[in-house]
Chain A
Amino acid sequence: MEAVLNFAIFLPLLGALLVAVVRNELFAKITAVSLSGFVLLLALILFINFDFSKEGFQFETVVPWIKTLGINYHVGLDGMAVSLILMTALIFFAVFVWSWKIEDRPVLYLSLFLALETACIGVFAALDLFLFYLFWEAMLIPMYFIIGFWGHDRKVYAANKFFLYTFFGSLFLLLGIASVLVYAYFTQGRISFDYAFLSSVDYPLWLELIAFLFFGLGFAVKIPMWPFHTWLPDAHVEAPTAGSAVLAGVLLKMGTYGFVRFSLPFFPEASKYYAPLIFFLSVVAIIYAAMMAIAQNHMKRLIAYSSISHMGLVTLGTFALTPEALNGAVYLMIAHGLSSAALFFSAGFIYDRIHSYEMDRLGGLARYIPYFTVAFFLSVLAGIAFPGFASFVAEFLILLGTYAKHPVWAFVAGVGMVLGAAYSLYMFKKVMLEEERVPPERIERWKKLKDLEPHHVITFALILFMALLMGVYPYPFVKVVEHTARLVLGG
């Protein structure tokens, strides 16, 4: 089983090198789809074999690497990691299927995405802080070039903004890692980047308060939490469809994953101390981003703001510090990964066909591309936490867990969810319905539009199936996710 995890991490990178060396378009596409499909299979095997009744990490591999600094190649999974990796593998497979017909420099494009997949899976599997940081930073360069090469008009601006913001955060993350490491070295007399070792150290309150801020800044930029969110709408608007799907589906989750994996177990006191601040920032994000979403006319910008709003809900659930809310938060990471990817694919499909994201210029499409209408509507429902979809379970758990301890914050967050339903349905209405608003010559154009092609169908079917499965039959997923809550909160 350990080998399966290591294969899942490094096969995509191997594929990236292979694709870059062979430089053949068809070979690249077949390799990318089959390799990522195989990785999805591996992730599924890991998920099925994961024993949620056992304590601690599973499928661990430890190989000494840099002995002087106590760095090991150490990977392993808990419930949260295994489910996030399943989601990541699914989204990447969907991305490669979606990109089947890409024409602009396909070899480079696919090899960058393959490299990105290794970095993303690696982040969730790393149990050594250096390894974690390595994967965390490694994702920066492929994403930078994906936005920069294949983005829209202001791609360079967006790519630079993305790089600078994220790098700003990761510098502080590094400073935080240095802080805990040095303290552990002084008190325990041993330099080690090992996760278990560093989380077993009892940090004094002053250090917890400082280091929490350093770590938190790194994660907050990535999530992104208000007020560090301004890079996200730009990055999403300019990124190509598949880039947006990965960015919203996977990369944003790294920040919240970091909070659950590192901040809570390392700094339990500081987490309690800063909880009100995090609640405040989360609720501002939920409400403010939802209001911003309502005001948008650009589909991708609207979805980007809705991501910020939902991620606010995740941070709220994380710092409520109750098992239910934490389960809900982790569940929402996965659910939102699926639904936001589906929404970005929908927006991307419309752009492919009509070359516009402006909702004013769209409208009345429902009758002419019926299959897409179904897919888009299901994606919207998945996004607004409609019962039967994964995010319903997630948001219900978060509100339940938060309400038990902080009823006021839970109430405000609930208002945000209503707003979420409002702007998502409004977007659907403006894009797909209201045929009478659209000038007749545009309707003529609509009539010639081509509906979903097979590769689109596979993409949507996979993601929506997963979202529905997790909504209708949440039992195994909740059990797996609970494994992390026990690990983090104890008991």
Chain B
Amino acid sequence: MNWSALLPELTLSAGVLTLFTLELLYGKKAFKAATLLAALFLALAAVSTLFTAHPERLFFGGFTVDALSLAGKLLLYALAALVLVSSYDYFIKRNSPYGELPYLYLLAVLGMSVMLSSDNLAVVFTGLELSSITLYLLAGLFKNDYPSKEGAFKYLVIGTTGTSMFALGSAFVYAATGSLRTVPYEGENAFFALGVVLILSALALKASAVPFHFWTPDAYEGAPTPTTAFMAAVPKLALYFLLVKLTYTLLSSFEDWRLFVVLLAVASMLVGNLAAYAQTSLKRLFAYSSVAHAGYFLTALTAVDEHLFAALLFYVFAYGTATVGVFTLLTVLEKALGRPARLDDLKGLYRTAPGTALLFALFLFAFIGIPPLALFWGKLGIFFGLVKAELFTVGVLFALGSLLSVGYYLRLVVLMFLTEPEREVKTALSGGEAFTLSFAALATLALGLAPQTVLDLLLRALP
């Protein structure tokens, strides 16, 4: 057996054990060091993907390493490390530097890693559960805080429903094909169709697509803000890598998958974008914005095409980077205000904290999709794909959907730049936050000016 194919997972496991021991020995005292160490292990794991043997099948074919999963892991670890670097100050300020946090994050990433490296539905399920259960724990961290508990509980109940649907779907697929492997299936079978629909629904739930999105605003709002950043960016990336892999095999074997995906996508865009207008809490606003983005992303699963998938994965990564940036800014604001930031708190931010306001505006314009910011390429790529599949109507709906979103993003810009401040907001950045923010901002710009760096990586990796 070629152990070097497991390099990234081994690195992460070593990290989990080290941090676990560290927590036993030092408890809360070493929180900052442990968090940064966790980020370091993620960075190491990211580097190790470059030396991982592939393609490789281990454990009787249950664990496969291919170029696509490696590319996914590389981006995943990078994004997760970015979140971790920014997180420590918030927990220290909130007086909850639990030593378990760093290795819980690592465990979640390990779960996603496993999820990406298998074409066996049972193993995928294991990875999905590992990451989901850790995320429930992370979301409910503030055990004395009612909204945090409520959000985590909702997340737990709805999330478990999702994983159960996934298990049931896998069972149906097994019943129809006699195998848990995700391979193209020819022939018509109601069980197979049902299985695919269930699996797709389960993943749509994890991606917070309408009508499975109800957990999103509460979980986002209840979770500690750095965890929200993690939830909004990292699992999404893993999920879309998985969805792309499944679209090649399972989904496209089911005739009407396109219709199903289009319905999910259009509903998500409309509901997400419209509901975002009604929010007063910034975290909830971005939760709905992520629902809308789930809609944009899903439109790319309507056709099997490597350029479309490369554009999608690029889009999700760019979105993840910008999202980490935005939630880090929300963390900073929350520390300054002493409570989660509301829309009103942004009033006149440009006067009181010009740097924060300018960065915020950069990320907002990135979400709107103004070139040359990274997210523009995702949007263009999806237009491409839809035109290629001759889905002009979906293209027009996508255009109208993203037009709808401009209103609430612009409202934030107006509040920050064009209204008078009501109170002085003094923002202070920790070293980690400054690093994450500058990295996210630079990446949003650089990926926009030179998208080929990541795009070529993805194009080479896609089968």
Contacts and interface: CB of A to CB of B under 8 A. Distances in A.
A164 interface: yes
Contacts of B383: 174-175, 178
A149 interface: yes
A69 B383 CA distance: 14
A182 B308 CA distance: 12
B450 interface: yes
Given A148-B417, A149-B417, A178-B387, A168 B403 contact: yes
A174 B379 contact: yes
Interface in B8-34: none
A145 B372 contact: no
Contacts of A186: 388
Given A134-B371, A148-B414, A175-B383, A68 B402 contact: no
Interface in B427-463: 450-452, 455-456, 459
B421 to A, nearest CB: 15
A138 interface: yes
B452 A175 contact: no
Contacts of A356: none
B417 A145 contact: yes
B384 interface: yes
Interface in A137-183: 137-138, 140-141, 145, 148-149, 155-156, 159-160, 163-164, 167-168, 171-172, 174-175, 178-179, 181-182
B459 A68 contact: yes
B396 A175 contact: yes
Residue among A66, A138, A186 with the highest chain B CB neighbour number at 10 A: A66
A148 B350 CA distance: 13
Given A66-B452, A164-B406, A167-B406, A175 B371 contact: no
A415 interface: no
B395 A67 contact: no
Contacts of A179: 387
Nearest to B414: A156
A174 B399 CA distance: 9
Contacts of A140: 370
Contacts of A156: 414, 418
A133 B370 contact: no
A418 interface: no
A238 B454 CA distance: 43
Interface residues of B, number: 30
Nearest to A180: B387
Given A156-B418, A175-B383, A175-B387, A141 B406 contact: no
Given A174-B383, A210-B392, A149 B403 contact: no
Contacts of B371: 130, 133-134, 137-138
A239 to B, nearest CB: 14
Interface string B390-424: 00100110010011001100100010011000000
Interface in B347-373: 365, 368, 370-372
Contact of A148 (B388, B418, B450): B418
Contacts of B168: none
B380 interface: yes
Contact of B370 (A141, A155, A181): A141
With a 10 A CB-CB cut-off, give which of B387, B392, B407, B414 has the most chain A CB atoms: B387
A407 to B, nearest CB: 38
Contacts of A159: 414, 418
Contacts of A160: 407, 410, 414
A162 B452 CA distance: 33
Interface in A27-68: 66-68
A175 B395 contact: yes
A12 to B, nearest CB: 17
Nearest to B372: A134
Contacts of A168: 403
Nearest to A179: B387
Nearest to A165: B403
Contact of B402 (A134, A138, A163, A171): A171
Contacts of A137: 370-371
Given A68-B459, A179-B387, A182-B384, A141 B365 contact: yes
B411 to A, nearest CB: 8
Contacts of B395: 175, 178
A208 to B, nearest CB: 14
8 contacts: A66-B451, A68-B455, A68-B456, A134-B371, A164-B407, A175-B399, A178-B384, A178-B387
Given A160-B410, A178-B383, 17 more contacts: A66-B450, A66-B451, A68-B452, A68-B455, A68-B456, A134-B371, A141-B365, A159-B414, A160-B407, A160-B414, A163-B410, A164-B410, A171-B399, A171-B402, A175-B395, A178-B380, A210-B392
Interface of B: 365, 368, 370-372, 379-380, 383-384, 386-388, 392, 395-396, 399, 402-403, 406-407, 410, 414, 417-418, 450-452, 455-456, 459
The 7 closest A-B pairs by CB, nearest first: A178-B383, A171-B399, A68-B452, A134-B371, A182-B387, A148-B418, A178-B387
